[in-house]
Structure formats: C-alpha cells, structure tokens
Structure 1
C-alpha cells in the first residue's frame, strides 16, 4: 500500500463535527435503523440458511466420500473444510454488509495519555518509532514510557538520542526480567493518566493515529474500556512473504476486527497499538504472564461486562517477518495466545451473548486448521495430481465465493472509507494478492497447529 513512510506524513486534519452515539436507537436518514442485536440475529439466521443450503446440495459429496471413509468421518471432513468455514464466511459477509462504523462524537480530544513501549533489542527501529510519535497531531499531552527489557544492543542509546532530538516527554526504564508482560507491568506503575496506549517498538503510526484512537475512546459509552487500532504492513516490498502478509492485514485481520467491533467485542486489543482505560488494566492485575498477554487482557475486560471497540482510522504500520521461520514463530505464538485466552476466560463464562459467540468461534478454529492441514491439503494433492475429487472438488466452489465477497467488501471499505480519508493509497500488489488467495492458508493452518501443540505440551515460550 504505497510508500507508507512518505504517505503517512500527509494525513488529514480532522473536522469538528457534532456526532451522535451509535448506541442510541435512532432512525437514520433512510428512516431505517437496525440495532446491533437485530444485525447479529439476521447475520446468524442467514449464515444458518447458507449452511443448510450447502448441506443439501452436498449430499452426493457426502455419499461418495462415505463409501471410502464411512459416514462419520465423511461428515467430520466435509464439516471442517466446507460447512464450518462456509458458515463463518457467511456470518462475516452479512455482518460487514450491515456494519456502519459509528461516527465519533469528539474529533479533537485534549486528554493526556501515556504511551507504553516495551523494547527488546530494538536498536534498529526504536528511534523512528519515537520520531513518528513526536510528529503526532494531537491536542493533548503524550507521555512516553519506554521499557528496555534487558536488551543486549544499543536500544537504550537510541532512546536517549530521541530524548535529545525530539520535544517529547520520554521516560526510559529498565526491566531485567524477560517477557513483554514484565516490561508493560513495570511501565504501568508510572502511568498517571486516565488512558494508556501500548505501542510496539518496531511500529510507526500515522500522524492522526493517536488522535483517532483517543477520539474513538472518549466518544464511546462509559463501558467501552479498550479500543484496538488498525495494523497494516510497512515492509511489504521486501519479499513475496511480506507481500502476502500485506493482504492478510489489509483484508483478513481488518475484516474480522470490523465484524467483532460491530458486536462490540473486538477479541484482541493488540499490544502493538491499542488504548485502554488505565484503571481497568490495573484492576485486572495488568498484563498476564502469557505469550498472548494482550488477548488475555482483552478477554478479561469482556468478562467484566465491558466492551472493546475497533478504530479503523487509528492506523499503525508494522514490519512483518520476511523469513518463513520467523513467520512461523510469530503465528504459532498467536495461536498459543488464543489457547491461553480460552483457558483463562472460558467462552461460556462471558457475560454477553455477543461475547460468548465471538469467543466461542475460537473453539472451532483449531478444528478448521486441523481439517485444512490434514484433509484439504491432501485432498488438493489428490485432485491436482491424481484427479481424485473425494475432498477437493466442484463442491468447494460454494466456499470460495463468500471468501472473495468478504474480501471485496472489506477492500472497498478500506480503500474508500479509510485510505482515501487518510490520504493513503492502496498499492497494486497483484502478485501478493494472488498468492495470498491461493497459498496463504496452506502455510497458516500447519503453523497454527504447531502453536496449539506447543501450548498443549507446555513447551517453552519464546517471544521472539
């Protein structure tokens, strides 16, 4: 998506507008107002209708596969590669079509905020991260706390250089105990503001990112205690793997967060760039001793009957792994973090139906990853090389269209409602998009399974 380092400098001046809470039940200009509950029910009904339709037309497929593996395994296999993914894609598509991002009531807040940056061997990028924070167009005071998590390089020296070069309030702390959660919890002790923002040390932010993030928070009802920012890829030009990840962030991750945000239960207010109410973070004991510390914190917030929003215009750009081994470590960590979240806060223990459903979906994701790895990929090999269409065949066309439709809806929204407003351009990364659609899940599912197994076996956790 074009040259971010140049483009995010442009940004936009936010207009001051009188806004309405989107929680208030009022009629829109079209005299039709659909409540969040009604949107949820409608999405659920249409998704079930789609799954029933898929089941009925796939009966010959079930019959043929049953003759080889038996009726039980036939149903398990087809459910994992078609019915469940089809249901989820249908739910996502309908939700995105019904979603209307609530307009912010306050566009230029003045609240003071504290930015926590946990840094471990971030010599190469921490200076740039602090430079972009220094260039923020934000009316309130930004206090920056960098926690050097026992780095062995010149991270601390780079922070000191930034303190001299920038007119910004930067505090440098030392935390010798390894683990991002230890660093963040140490920084939390120095937070004196109502709101705390976490930012990864290798992440840069758009000039209006903090303004838009805080604006969403202060415009929201009191029970909204966290807002997740929007993560995009900065180094997408590096190689093919980075090009594919660009579309993962731009389409998949963003679409899921938009859907979750619609139902007021964004499942991960990611530590890379999110805002939290300081009091609730402290009341929940800070960040947990976990590899998915941000997931657990978010789920704990939801379990307190609080809500978590998503702000697509609070844009941050991160460097993604360019080596397959690094990518595998990162995504296996994410998979482990999801399992940690399920263990810490059971989906059925969540107080709201929305939250039960959204977190409950995570119980099915390992099943889909298993099915994709051990059923779909072998089925693809059988179809391509041996012309045996037991698993991957004509019936799979009923899964692919929904995926493409959801991506198109998100692409249109991102390009015209987010990027255009932020004076950014969507880069024509056709090769990356093609490979993302055709091969990305073949990498993701086995890597995720590896992460699930690591967590189940209690293997050593590695943050980097």
Structure 2
C-alpha cells in the first residue's frame, strides 16, 4: 500500500508497550546459568593487562629516544610514539583480552508465544537491484510472531517503486515519499507508523541469514532489562567483487565486529547501526528518532545511552550488505562515519564523565582522533628514518604494536570462526583481501578519517575560505 506524506498525521497506531522477559524463560536462565564472573572484574583484568603492556612499551621506547638532542625533540618523539605504537598496542591487547574473557549470556529457549511482534523499517533510495532480494531474505526468516515490514521509498528515481509494487507479501507496506529527504527522515516516517513494541531497521541492500531476526530478538530478551537496543552483526555480502570489497570483508569480520562485541561486554555498544539493529519502539520515540546529520546511527545510540539505557550486540544475528566498490564511495562512507563520531562527541560529550564502563569506550573514540592523526603524519617519516638506520620511531611499532595487532587479529579470527560454525557458515578464503587489509587498508582509512574529523570540527565558513 502506498501512503502519501500528508496521510502520516492522520494515521494512529497503539503506543507500544515494553517487552519484558517471560517469567518461565527468566527462571530457566537462573537455573542453568554457569558460574558468574562479574563484568567489572573482566574489564579490570583486560585493562590491567593492556595497560601493563602499554606502560612497558612506553618506558622502553623512552630509552630509545633518550639520545635525542633537545628536550622538545624528545617530547615530540614521545608523543609520536604514543600515538603510533603505544596506544595502538594498548587497544589491540585490550580487544584480545576482552574477547578471551567474553562469555555471551546464555540464551534461554523461548516458546513461540513469548516472541514480540516486530516492525521492520527499510529506507530505500534507488534500490531497484537489491530490494527484492532483501524482502526475500525477510520472507525466509524463521520468526514465530507477527512481522510488519514498511519500506519507505525515499524519492527513488529508478524502478524501486515498481519492484515494490510487484512484490506479493501480505506483511509488506510501502510508504512512497515524493522527494528524497535522506535516510533519517525516511526512517522517522516509518517510525511514526510502527505498530509493534520492537522496531528493527534494515538496509535496502541487506540479505539476512535465515536465523538473523530470531537471534536478534532472543538476544534482546536474554539481555538485562534496561536494554533498549541491540546491534546486529553486519558483514560483507559482495566481497568477491573487487580488491576494495575484499579488504573491507576483513574489516567488518575482524575489526568492527570485535570492537562491538567487547563494547557489549562492557555494557555499552556505541553504535547500533540502522543497517541492521533492534530498538524498543517507545524509547526510539522518546529520544526523537534518528537525527538528521551525517552520523545519525551513532548520535541516536548515544542519545539512548544518555538516558541510562543499555545497548547490546548480537554477534550471531547476521546481515550481509553491499559495501562500497570504489575508492571514492569508500572514502565518502568513512568520512561520514568519522563525522558521526565528532557529532556524537559534540552533542553528548557529557557521557565522557559518567561513571559507567561504557565511558571507557567513549574515551576510546576520542583517542582514535589522536592515533589516526599520528598514524597519518608519522608513518612516512618513520619509514624514511628506518631506511636511513634511525629506528627510534619505527622500532616501537615493530616491537610493540605489530605483534599485538597480530595477536589480536588471531584471537578475533578464532572467536568469529567459532561463531560462524555454530550458524552453519564457513569463513571464505580471502588471502589477497587479508594481505591488502594488513598492508594497505590503514594507509587508506586513517587519512580519510582525519578528513572527516576536520570537516566536522572546522566551521563551514572557515572551510570555504580555505
């Protein structure tokens, strides 16, 4: 059914109620729960191990720079080493240790009648090539409760609307927007009409694993009662297209997934991406939905954290998406993501001073601005100095950062592979993509991230003068 914009204000749906864990399921969890290790203990252990390694790296590196001529030169050298070697080593060790300590909360077995009804929102703009496959993957879900799917056609100029009209699904509703207003506006239009207590967002080029929706909802039901959102696992579906997508496959499989998993362990996943995530509908409405900005996902997630809710992560609820295939589109995407981090810090910077475990990762994001900058400006000088026999900058990277990055990635690979096998999936062989991810990817990503940070920090009129 196609609905015009002027009809939105006249259509009313019941305000959703909070979904709570069924009593039988809660009892089942308490009877079969293994010995509980407090999250705070896990966090402190991971922090102690990573901080100890970083301190060792910094002290040893300081001895290497002691021979520099002036105090100012030594200070500059130490700041460079801190950003290019010490902090990256700290982050790698923390992620590896956190993953080794992480034990996903046991999911209970829910009866079909315990599952809540779900509204799925899909913002579609010029998605003629992918939208029917996305809908087919929804139709294949093994989900026992009612599902409504609202595809918001955001002013598409191709055959997206025709494809939607040809689809014959009883649960499908189409909202046709005459003019493209952006992803946030489209999702908010669907949110105003969502009938069910749980809202799931999905990109128009995403293909869901057959168990994805069920895994996402059961993770929500099994998580603590203050959970307001759960991020799904987003992986690359077009990795065989070209070298650019092959490298991104490893970024999504290794870096992004591991970071969100450890953030979830520390009770504060910082991004519930609209690509595939679950939200409580009532809380979405309370925080005002998706803001109209470059990083709407991260700003919305931080708004949820600001209101003292928890954001979880379902590592085995998988959506395969199409990632950028060209350098230009990749740069634009990552520049937008970097802008989102700065927008979130500018809007909800007060989260930096909350006494919660999730605050650690807010600071982590702030430190990324520094490490990305140092990596961008110091990598070439480090290489040049090493070629001339001067190793005080390249040495700490090779001795402290590189081995820990290798260790961290091996741990991440083992954890991710084990999760894949439980879903009946196999990790595809992609050695060329791995080589590019290890040697080239950072060279592309870090400068683009810096450009994104600066574009949000520098006033618009100043950028125009430059």
TM-score, normalised with respect to structure 1 = 0.89
Aligned to 2:139: 134
CA contact (8 A) 1:25 1:35 kept: no
> Is it true that 1:111 corresponds to 2:119 in the alignment?
no
Aligned to 1:273: 276
Q: What is the distance in 1 between the residues matched to 2:33 and 2:97?
A: 21
Computed over aligned residues only, the root mean square deviation of the Cα atoms, in angstroms, reads 2.3
Q: What is the distance in 2 between the residues matched to 1:395 and 1:126?
A: 45
Displacement of 1:103 after TM fit?
A: 1.4
Displacement of 1:27 after TM fit?
A: 7.6
Aligned to 2:401: 399
Alignment of 1:342-421 (within 5 A): 342-348=345-351, 351-384=354-387, 386-393=388-395, 396-416=398-418, 418-421=419-422
Aligned to 2:191: 188
**Runs of at least 5 residues in structure 2 that lack an aligned partner in the other structure:** 1-23, 462-466
Do the aligned partners of residues 102 and 122 (structure 1) sit closer, same or farther apart at CA in structure 2, a change above 3 Å counting? same
Do the aligned partners of residues 256 and 123 (structure 1) sit closer, same or farther apart at CA in structure 2, a change above 3 Å counting? same
TM-score, normalised with respect to structure 2 = 0.88
Displacement of 1:94 after TM fit?
A: 1.5
Q: What is the distance in 1 between the residues matched to 2:317 and 2:43?
A: 25
Q: What is the distance in 1 between the residues matched to 2:27 and 2:328?
A: 45
Residues 132-171 of structure 1: per-residue CA shift (max 9 Å, x gap): 1111111111111111111111111111112x2x343333
CA contact (8 A) 1:232 1:318 kept: yes
Q: What is the distance in 1 between the residues matched to 2:351 and 2:285?
A: 25
Displacement of 1:357 after TM fit?
A: 1.2
Q: What is the distance in 1 between the residues matched to 2:361 and 2:350?
A: 8
Aligned to 1:154: 159
Do the aligned partners of residues 73 and 349 (structure 1) sit closer, same or farther apart at CA in structure 2, a change above 3 Å counting? closer
Which of 206, 210, 227 aligns to 2:209? It is: 206
Alignment of 1:437-448 (within 5 A): 437-448=438-449
Residues 95-114 of structure 1: per-residue CA shift (max 9 Å, x gap): 11110011112455531100
SS in 2 for 1:397: helix
SS in 1 for 2:174: strand
Q: What is the distance in 1 between the residues matched to 2:213 and 2:460?
A: 37
CA contact (8 A) 1:113 1:141 kept: yes
Q: What is the distance in 2 between the residues matched to 1:141 and 1:26?
A: 29
**Runs of at least 5 residues in structure 1 that lack an aligned partner in the other structure:** 1-17
Do the aligned partners of residues 19 and 419 (structure 1) sit closer, same or farther apart at CA in structure 2, a change above 3 Å counting? farther
Q: What is the distance in 2 between the residues matched to 1:377 and 1:265?
A: 36
**Misfit runs of 4+, over 6 Å:** 18-27
Residues 68-94 of structure 1: per-residue CA shift (max 9 Å, x gap): 961221111111111111222222121
Q: What is the distance in 1 between the residues matched to 2:408 and 2:26?
A: 28
Displacement of 1:378 after TM fit?
A: 3.0
Residues 321-361 of structure 1: per-residue CA shift (max 9 Å, x gap): 11111110011110001111111111545644212211111
Q: What is the distance in 2 between the residues matched to 1:204 and 1:169?
A: 16
**Corresponding residue pairs, total:** 436
Which piece of structure 1 moves more, 347-356 or 266-275? 347-356
Alignment of 1:49-448 (within 5 A): 49-64=52-67, 70-107=73-110, 109-162=114-167, 164=168, 166-174=169-177, 176-348=179-351, 351-384=354-387, 386-393=388-395, 396-416=398-418, 418-448=419-449
SS in 2 for 1:172: strand
SS in 1 for 2:357: helix
CA contact (8 A) 1:286 1:297 kept: yes
CA contact (8 A) 2:291 2:300 kept: yes
Displacement of 1:377 after TM fit?
A: 3.2
Do the aligned partners of residues 307 and 60 (structure 1) sit closer, same or farther apart at CA in structure 2, a change above 3 Å counting? same
Aligned to 2:9: none
SS in 2 for 1:189: helix
